[in-house]
Chains A and B, each alone.
Chain A
Amino acid sequence: AQSVTQLGSHVSVSEGALVLLRCNYSSSVPPYLFWYVQYPNQGLQLLLKYTSAATLVKGINGFEAEFKKSETSFHLTKPSAHMSDAAEYFCAVRNRDDKIIFGKGTRLHILP
């Protein structure tokens, strides 16, 4: 079965610093991978997705993620954190039934 594991339920970075949120996947077939962001009491917004077209995927709000098959990773990065980036981030994989399986989430805190 396909799954994702997010390392770190909470991550704190200073404003202007690099953001790195870790995600490892488990899949027997080339996966479809996603990163979503959720602000308090809101639904999910798609940040970016990997569909095998390119290993480095650029998303919205300055985020990007790199698919590394050798490491089974799909970590999310942003060069310079902004206060507005504080939110919950979910890594997810789509399985063969088109169901999206979510990781447990990482809460990103931005320190002034």
Chain B
Amino acid sequence: GAVVSQHPSRVICKSGTSVKIECRSLDFQATTMFWYRQFPKQSLMLMATSNEGSKATYEQGVEKDKFLINHASLTLSTLTVTSAHPEDSSFYICSAQSLRLAEYYNEQFFGPGTRLTVL
């Protein structure tokens, strides 16, 4: 199947700093990428949807100025957590979807996740 990578897999930062997480589709062009957040022992909550070349669409309750999403190319989306605080500590997972791959049309492929810890 199609492969999605995330970098870094783990990051620890000080409160007040910004952290960038990358999501890459390695062997296909992702027309849409999704960002999820998962608190310990909880389900995944969709944060935002991004389409290449356009602004991300954020879910209700997600601060767009806090979580900056850029989808500059068909293989890369970035999530920047600005001025991170301990309550932002979480597991962030991205997924990528392609409308161009007939075999995997409209299926989402998930990255391995990034564990963010804010001290």
Q: Which residues does A use to contact B, with CB under 8 Å?
A: 36, 41-46, 49, 90, 97-105
Contact = CB atoms under 8 A, between A and B. Distances in A.
Contacts of A105: 42-43
A44 B46 contact: no
Nearest to B10: A41
A90 B44 contact: yes
Interface stretch (B62-70, B73-81, B103-111): B103-111
Interface string B40-75: 001110100100000000000000000000000000
Given A41-B113, A44-B44, A102-B44, 20 more contacts: A41-B115, A42-B112, A42-B113, A43-B4, A43-B6, A43-B93, A43-B112, A43-B113, A44-B93, A44-B95, A49-B107, A90-B43, A98-B106, A99-B46, A100-B34, A100-B108, A101-B46, A103-B43, A104-B42, A105-B43
Interface string B1-45: 100101000000000000000000000000010100000001110
A98 B32 contact: yes
Contacts of B111: 43
B89 interface: no
Contacts of A42: 112-113
Give the one of A36, A44, A49, A90 with max B CB within 10 A.
A44
Given A43-B93, A44-B93, A102 B43 contact: yes
Contacts of A104: 42-43
B66 to A, nearest CB: 20
18 contacts: A36-B110, A41-B91, A41-B115, A42-B113, A43-B4, A43-B6, A43-B93, A45-B110, A46-B107, A46-B110, A90-B43, A97-B49, A98-B106, A100-B34, A100-B46, A100-B95, A102-B43, A103-B43
